[in-house]
């Protein structure tokens, strides 16, 4: 089912670029101090951030999770996203150290931080259109569905961010929590990966994986990692395949259906992967047929490879980027009713 030359079985991994990610010390992650690790982040005091969010007013709340809450705030006349961690959350330490050395247009930008007593906060650029899941599922009345070209644009941006993490330095970074709610969108639907609290340094030398406690989100987590606890970049590729499947189908990774209980998107979709007479049944009904058949089939092929049961068969993310660029070069001709930039303008 391979449709792209860049995904041939004889592909080779790109030589990794030298970077500063190797300076992360996993034995010393509890500290937010030290000028070297903070050199690119501004230090805010708690009072500034409290004023910016109107004392963390609930009406400014834009997200929350096990780590804490995210508020919209105004600093220096600009909108910012301010993440306030729970006092017992360790995620902030991981995320802070990662984002002080990782910089890419498709990763959310860390602006600054605050560490006062037991309070830990991080300040990011504000992504005005929120997370991808808000544009795929349970759309508000009158909300325009994403066009085909915009979906491809979003997928390509997320893939570029993930490829950067995997190939940034001699040691790859494994994101470990790729899902539609962690892909943020700006006004022009440029996508950026966010929330690096579960990210880990990958294997080095002759090692092929690292052993960790299994973490991530059910449904997005690669089955080989969930069963063994052995983590490598192929685990992220599987998660990307799940997100790509959500993008083309408009379905959640798990859907609750009356009479059948919870239905897995992956299990529902597998019969269509290799059947050319039925693969269009994977398409989001909200697309109303407005997508190129060839490009759609190419994405179905790519998804099938990303979700392969054998981790070593899955493509590398730089190959996925090449494949998505090829799909983006064949945009659907007319975005009816959507004043949204096309993927071919990337």
134 and 272 share one domain: yes
The whole-number pLDDT of residue 201 equals 84
User: Residues 81-112: pLDDT tens digits?
Assistant: 999 988 776 666 667 777 778 889 999 999 99
Who contacts 133 (Cβ-Cβ below 8 Å, separation ≥6)?
179, 180, 181
Packed helices 148-167 and 317-328: angle between N→C axes, nearest 10 degrees:
160
71 and 182 share one domain: no
pLDDT confidence bin for 316, thresholds 50/70/90: very high
Q: Residue 7: inside a domain, yes or no?
A: no
The CATH number of the domain holding residue 207 is: 1.10.510.10
Instruction: Assess whether 177 carries a catalytic annotation.
Output: yes
Selected catalytic residue, list 167, 177, 209, 236:
177
78-85 and 119-125 as β-strands: parallel, antiparallel, unpaired? antiparallel
Number of domains in the chain: 2
Of the candidates 94, 125, 156, which is a domain's last residue? Answer: 125
User: Residues 24-74: pLDDT tens digits?
Assistant: 444 344 444 444 444 567 899 999 999 999 999 999 999 887 788 999 999
Q: Residue 70: inside a domain, yes or no?
A: yes
Cα 132 vs. chain centroid, distance in angstroms? 9
Packed helices 233-249 and 317-328: angle between N→C axes, nearest 10 degrees:
20
- Among 20-24, 119-123, 205-209, 266-270, the range scoring the smallest mean pLDDT is 20-24
User: Residues 168-213: pLDDT tens digits?
Assistant: 755 789 999 999 999 999 999 999 999 888 888 887 665 666 777 7
78-85 and 191-193 as β-strands: parallel, antiparallel, unpaired? unpaired
The residue-averaged pLDDT of 278-301 equals 96
Instruction: State the pTM of this model.
Output: 0.85
pLDDT confidence bin for 263, thresholds 50/70/90: confident
Range of the domain at 152: 130-345
118 and 141 share one domain: no
Residue 167: both structure tokens together: 């190939």
Q: Residue 96: inside a domain, yes or no?
A: yes
Residue 242: both structure tokens together: 């799940």
95 and 156 share one domain: no
The CATH number of the domain holding residue 67 is: 3.30.200.20
Of the candidates 125, 158, 175, which is a domain's last residue? Answer: 125
Q: Residue 18: inside a domain, yes or no?
A: no
171 and 76 share one domain: no
153 and 97 share one domain: no
Of the candidates 107, 125, 143, which is a domain's last residue? Answer: 125
Contact 18, 331 (CB under 8 A): no
* 114: pLDDT strictly greater than 50: yes
208 and 266 share one domain: yes
Q: Residue 3: inside a domain, yes or no?
A: no
């Amino acid at each position: 089912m391979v449709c792209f030359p860049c995904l041939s079985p004889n592909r080779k991994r790109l030589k990794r670029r030298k970077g500063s990610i190797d300076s992360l010390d996993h034995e010393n992650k509890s500290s937010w101090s030290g000028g070297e690790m903070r050199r690119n982040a501004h230090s805010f005091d708690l009072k500034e951030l409290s004023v910016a969010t109107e004392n963390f007013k609930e009406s400014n709340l834009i997200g929350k999770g096990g780590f804490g809450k995210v508020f919209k705030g105004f600093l220096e006349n600009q909108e910012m996203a301010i993440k306030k961690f729970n006092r017992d959350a360790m995620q902030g330490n991981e995320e802070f150290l990662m984002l002080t050395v990782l910089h890419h247009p498709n990763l959310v930008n860390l602006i600054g931080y605050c560490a006062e007593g037991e309070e830990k906060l991080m300040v990011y650029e504000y992504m005005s259109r929120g997370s991808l899941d808000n544009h795929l599922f349970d759309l508000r009345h009158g909300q325009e569905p994403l066009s085909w070209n915009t979906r491809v644009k979003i997928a390509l941006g997320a893939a570029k961010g993930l490829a950067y993490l995997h190939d940034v330095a001699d040691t790859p970074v494994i994101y470990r929590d790729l899902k539609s709610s962690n892909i943020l969108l700006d006004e022009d639907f440029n996508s950026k990966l966010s929330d690096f609290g579960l990210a880990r340094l990958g294997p080095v030398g002759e090692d092929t994986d690292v052993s960790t406690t299994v973490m991530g989100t059910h449904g997005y987590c690669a089955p080989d990692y969930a069963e063994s606890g052995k983590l490598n970049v192929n685990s992220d590729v599987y998660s990307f395949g799940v997100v790509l499947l959500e993008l083309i189908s408009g379905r959640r990774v798990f859907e609750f259906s009356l009479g059948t209980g919870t239905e897995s998107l992956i299990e529902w979709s597998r019969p269509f992967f290799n059947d050319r007479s039925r693969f269009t049944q994977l398409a989001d009904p909200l697309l109303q047929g407005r997508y190129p058949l060839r490009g759609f089939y190419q994405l179905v092929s790519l998804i099938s490879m990303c979700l392969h049961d054998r981790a070593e068969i899955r493509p590398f993310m730089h190959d996925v980027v090449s494949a998505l660029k090829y799909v983006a070069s064949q945009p659907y001709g007319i975005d009816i009713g959507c004043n949204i930039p096309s993927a071919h303008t990337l």
